[in-house]
């Protein structure tokens, strides 16, 4: 016989309910807790946060402990309540006990604790550390057996271990933070650029061959000085006979200093050694190469060994922080809105920026080129010329400025 009115029995049942709620709440808290925030608290000297972080990171052992403890508590709780109800109500007690325990365990042992554990994950995880560590120690033999069994099963799995957060997920997190108002659009763009930095190639940021300013070593000195004064570049590639044979880099200041001193400059002795990088090299590797060789400019070579263009440290940095203009740069209007449905676009604008940033259109067209001019050229299917038109989904694209097979400006009209 069970004395249903015994205060000890009532207290024991209440303790079991509390433990059931504890295991359910901590399961949600430790599975959803922000580990980065816990790590920050730990670095600030919060020892409980450090212990909570250790529990969250060793989640296999933690979840095993929680599930074992929760099942033991719920089974024991159900058995005792069933025995009490059977003693009080006879054969009908089983039905009463089943209905009562289902309601109470669902509401007070599962739903409410899990909701609190999710909404106050850091608070619950830190406050529950000592009790959780005690249960982990108490149930260590069971956890060890289950983990051993899991390791045996994992031997037959071919799944590769996945990172905690992928690059795409990290970008989504940054977008979410910005949408929630905790980050400026400029900060979001900077973080996006930093994350995607390794994906960019030298050919994406180089000054292409058609825009390359270089001098011939065999040209008269007067002509070279005139070209330097006219173009105002600090570092100039020097070639001999053909642009594909770049033999050095001339520093404009060195030449002008020599002329001011009324010396007879020897360009071959004056020019610096040229640094070469491949057009398919990641810009992070190119930057490292240029830093090691203390070069601000490198010549980009194509797959045939010819000159594809040049890249500077400034070009690489602009991939991170956007355009950097000096007092000699001509500011180019890359995007201009004519009306609500018409826009003028410079060919040098990034294709992704055009659609996502300016047109607010998420379905960016797939292209092997990064710039608008490259994408238009890809879709032209012929030599690009003024007046050529093609469509992309709801947009009509028209070339309005093309010279020497180069696409300078297009007009985009959105169809209504």
Q: Are 39 and 52 in contact (CB under 8 A)?
A: no
Cα 223 off chain centre by: 49
C-alpha–C-alpha distance, residues 220 and 230, integer Å: 16
List the beta bridge partners of residue 297: 312
Looking at per-residue pLDDT, the higher value among 120 and 87 belongs to 120
Distance, CA of 290 to CA of 9 (rounded, Å): 77
Domain boundaries, the chain: 7-154, 167-195, 202-321, 335-414
> Looking at per-residue confidence, does 197 or 272 come out higher?
272
Handedness of CA 375, 381, 383, 386 (dihedral sign): negative
* Confidence at residue 163, expressed as pLDDT on a 0 to 100 scale: 61
Cβ proximity of 15 and 69 under 8 Å? no
What does the pLDDT look like over 301-344, one tens digit per residue? 988 888 989 998 888 887 777 666 555 555 567 888 888 889 99
**CATH architecture assigned to 202-321:** Roll (3.10)
At residue 171 the predicted structure's pLDDT band, cuts being 50, 70 and 90, is confident
Contact between 330 and 352 (Cβ < 8 Å) = no
**Average pLDDT in the 395-412 region?**
86
Q: Kindly indicate the confidence band of residue 3, based on its pLDDT and cuts at 50, 70 and 90.
A: low
| CB of 97 closer than 8 Å to CB of 85 | yes
Pairing, β 235-240 against β 307-312:
unpaired
Residue of 300, 244, 235 lying closest to 271 (CA atoms): 235
What is the per-residue pLDDT for 130? Answer: 92
C-alpha closest to that of 411 among 332, 347, 333, 331: 347
On whether the CB atoms of residues 308 and 301 are closer than 8 A, the answer is yes
Residue 143: which pLDDT band, with cuts at 50, 70 and 90? Answer: confident
* Confidence band for 150, pLDDT divided at 50, 70 and 90: confident
User: How do residues 208-226 score in pLDDT, each as one tens digit?
Assistant: 887 888 999 988 888 888 8
- Tokens representing residue 119 in the block: 């909404």
- DSSP assigned state of 165: S
pLDDT band at residue 134 using 50, 70 and 90 as cut-offs: very high
279 Cα distance to chain centroid: 24
CATH, domain range 335-414 = 3.30.465.10
Q: Taking a C-beta distance cutoff of 8 angstroms, is the pair 124, 117 a contact? A: yes
Pair of tokens at residue 106: 């669902």
Residues 366-373 have a mean pLDDT of: 82
pTM: 0.53
The pLDDT, as a whole number, for residue 332 is 62
pLDDT at 237: 92
Tell me the pairing of strands 389-392 and 395-403: antiparallel
User: What is the residue-averaged pLDDT of the chain?
Assistant: 83
Confidence of residue 383 (pLDDT cuts 50, 70, 90): confident
pLDDT by residue (tens digit) across 6-56?
778 888 888 888 888 999 999 899 888 888 888 888 888 888 889 998 888
């Amino acid at each position: 016989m069970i004395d249903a009115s015994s205060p000890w029995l009532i207290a024991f049942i209440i303790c079991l309910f509390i433990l059931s709620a504890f295991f359910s709440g901590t399961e949600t808290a430790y599975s959803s807790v922000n580990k980065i925030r816990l790590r920050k608290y730990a670095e600030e000297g919060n020892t409980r946060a450090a212990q909570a972080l250790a529990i969250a990171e060793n989640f296999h052992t933690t979840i095993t402990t929680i599930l074992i403890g929760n099942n033991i508590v719920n089974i024991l709780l159900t058995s005792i309540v069933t025995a009490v109800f059977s003693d009080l109500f006879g054969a009908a007690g089983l039905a009463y006990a089943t209905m009562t325990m289902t309601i109470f365990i669902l509401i007070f042992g599962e739903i409410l604790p899990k909701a609190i554990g999710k909404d106050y994950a850091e608070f619950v995880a830190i406050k529950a550390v000592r009790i959780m560590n005690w249960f982990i120690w108490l149930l260590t033999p069971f956890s060890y057996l289950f983990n051993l069994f899991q390791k045996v099963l994992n031997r037959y799995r071919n799944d590769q271990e996945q990172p905690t957060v992928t690059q795409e997920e990290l970008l989504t997190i940054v977008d979410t933070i910005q949408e929630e108002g905790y980050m400026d659009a400029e900060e979001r763009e900077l973080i996006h650029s930093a994350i995607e930095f390794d994906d960019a190639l030298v050919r994406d940021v180089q000054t292409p061959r058609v825009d390359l300013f270089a001098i011939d070593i065999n040209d008269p000195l007067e002509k070279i000085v005139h070209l330097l004064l006219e173009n105002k570049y600090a570092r100039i590639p020097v070639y001999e006979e053909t642009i594909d044979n770049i033999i050095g880099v001339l520093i404009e200041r060195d030449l002008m200093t020599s002329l001011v001193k009324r010396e007879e400059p020897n360009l071959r002795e004056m020019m610096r050694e040229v640094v070469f990088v491949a057009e398919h090299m990641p810009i992070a590797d190119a930057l490292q190469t240029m830093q090691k060789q203390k070069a601000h400019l490198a010549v980009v070579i194509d797959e045939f060994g010819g000159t594809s263009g040049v890249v500077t440290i400034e070009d690489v940095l602009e991939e991170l922080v956007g355009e950097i203009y000096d007092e000699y740069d001509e500011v180019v209007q890359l995007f201009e809105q004519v009306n609500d449905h018409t826009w003028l676009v410079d060919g040098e604008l990034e294709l992704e920026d055009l659609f996502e940033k300016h047109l607010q259109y998420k379905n960016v067209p797939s292209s092997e080129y990064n710039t608008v001019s490259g994408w238009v050229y890809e879709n032209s299917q012929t030599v690009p010329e003024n007046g050529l038109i093609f469509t992309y989904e709801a947009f009509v694209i028209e070339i309005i400025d093309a010279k020497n097979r180069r696409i300078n400006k297009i007009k985009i009209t959105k169809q209504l």
